[in-house]
Amino acid sequence: MGCSGCSTGVGVPKGCGSNGNCGTGGCDKLEVYDWLANMELPAGQKEFDWVEVRFKNGRKDYFKNTNGLSLTMSTIVAVESSPGHDIGVVSLRGELVKAQMSRRKINPNSDQFKKVYRIATQRDIDKWREVQAKEIETMYKSRELADRLQLKMKISDVEYQGDGAKAIFYYTADERVDFRQLIKDMAGAFSVRIEMKQIGARQEAGRLGGIGSCGRELCCTTWLTDFRSVNTSAARYQQLSLNPSKLAGQCGKLKCCLNFELDSYLDGLKSFPNTDTILFTKKGKARYQKMDIFKEVMWYAYEDQPASWVELKVDRVLEIIELNKSKTNPDSLEEIAEKDLELAEAAPAYENVVGQDSITRFDRTKRSRRRKNHKNKAQGKKPDTNKEAKAKNNSGGQGENKPKRRRNFNRKPKGENNNQGNRRNNNSKNRNSNRGKDNSEKK
């Protein structure tokens, strides 16, 4: 499946090149799963007549299906625009559209709404792809025009309308920019209606896409739409070093993911004392150095020994603070730490008795005993003493364990064996009698 909404013009996504399965400039960018698609509506209830349409780089808008068209997910439609019409892809329909509109505070009963004109024809799609092929070239030319006018702005993306009547230029700027002359120059160069939209650094990174320091696609590209402000206090609460190169994302701002786990850290910090509190002992004063929030551990060091840190549990630190309030000081922090260490050693340690932690516990194959016995005989090893003891017990403990005789499967019937035995006895008697005769003749 190829993405017809990308700017390559050939229906192939720009990102990883997986032909429809990537999140950066591909078909799955900010996609919503319609989990109500296979559910029937109650009797007498009509389907919600609004649809969500996705345009380039995740831009979405809501349109009313006034003509009663049978629209499904990923249907390419021609929708109302100003001026002319635009081409987009249906990304959501049904009751979930009502939930999304209420989230964005859009009134579906309003008199002012945009319509879905028709399902896009092949002529509409060809025109759409034709104008999409111009977007990269248009962006480079517009940057040259902005440089000539010495405007402090960066044009990061260009989006053509489906019918080619209008082009939207997305730019970032730190200050207010007077681009009236730039619009005149671009209108004369491209012969289209020009619309300028200023976006922030995070929106720019979300539109362009990329790979974060975690090795995954940017959150603002794949799923994040609500850009909340991030402060350096979020890094302080999480005990992170204030290194701008590590805390900043590709947009140059603080990473949005600093807010993801902030609530968990704030809940964990509620049980910790104030880090400015000094611990008084008979050995000296101790100041806070470091903490581990989820392990509930704090490190303190004496003022005259800043290099030697003492590890204490949060409960112990709170006990010392209460003792200091009652004007009693413990001997030293080391003694308290040693008591905690002794208690930890006395506690039963975890042992992997059954072997449930082994990843390959189900991959072990059972070897047959015959192969093992043959292998021991070939290497000249002694038999196992355990097997000998078992054999003695089975025999009742009488005598030594004699080796078993091998069975002769070529043995003949009893009658034949008896005849052979008689013949052998007669032959031996004849030989002995002949030997006696020879000895008498010699004498």
Q: Which two tokens stand for residue 253?
A: 């701002």
Question: What distance in Å separates the CA atoms of residue 159 and residue 168, rounded to the nearest whole number?
Answer: 5
- The answer to whether residues 255 and 276 belong to one domain is no
In a domain, 223, yes or no: no
- 220 inside domain: no
In-domain check, residue 438 = no
Q: Does residue 39 form part of some domain?
A: no
Q: Work out how many domains the chain is built from and give that number.
A: 4
Give me the CATH number covering residue 177: 3.30.300.20
Tens-level pLDDT at each residue, the chain (443 residues): 344 444 444 444 444 444 444 444 445 566 777 888 778 888 878 888 999 999 988 789 999 999 989 898 889 999 999 888 999 999 998 889 999 899 889 999 888 899 999 999 999 999 999 999 999 999 999 999 999 999 999 999 999 999 999 999 999 998 999 989 999 999 999 999 999 999 999 989 988 888 998 999 899 888 888 888 899 999 999 989 889 889 999 899 999 999 999 999 999 999 999 999 999 999 999 999 999 999 999 999 999 888 899 999 999 999 999 999 999 999 899 988 888 787 777 666 656 666 666 667 667 665 555 666 666 666 665 555 555 555 555 555 444 455 555 555 555 555 545 555 555 555 555 555 555 555 555 44
CB contact at 8 A, 61 and 53: yes
- CA-closest candidate to residue 208, choices 341, 50, 14, 433: 14
Pick from 346, 361, 384: which residue ends a domain?
Answer: 346
pLDDT of residue 24: 41
User: 241 and 199 in one domain?
Assistant: no
The reply to whether 264 and 278 lie within a common domain is: no
Same domain, 282 and 338: yes
Residue 74 domain flag: yes
Examine the fold and report which residue of 346, 367, 397 is the final residue of a domain before the chain moves on: 346
Closest C-alpha to 282, from 228, 233, 323? 323
- The answer to whether the beta carbons of residues 333 and 283 sit under 8 Å apart is yes
Side chain identity, residue 171: Y
- 238, amino acid identity: Q
User: In b/e form, how buried is each residue of 4-13, taking b as 16+ CB within 10 angstroms?
Assistant: bbbbbbebbb
265 and 244 inside one domain: yes
CA–CA distance, 330 with 186 (Å, rounded to integer): 78
**Which of 346, 378, 400 is the C-terminal boundary of a domain?**
346
Q: Is residue 111 part of a domain?
A: yes
Domain with 292 in it: 272-346
Residues 122 and 143 in one domain: no
Considering the domain architecture, whether residues 295 and 235 belong to the same structural domain is answered as no
pLDDT attached to residue 422 = 54
pTM score of the predicted model: 0.63
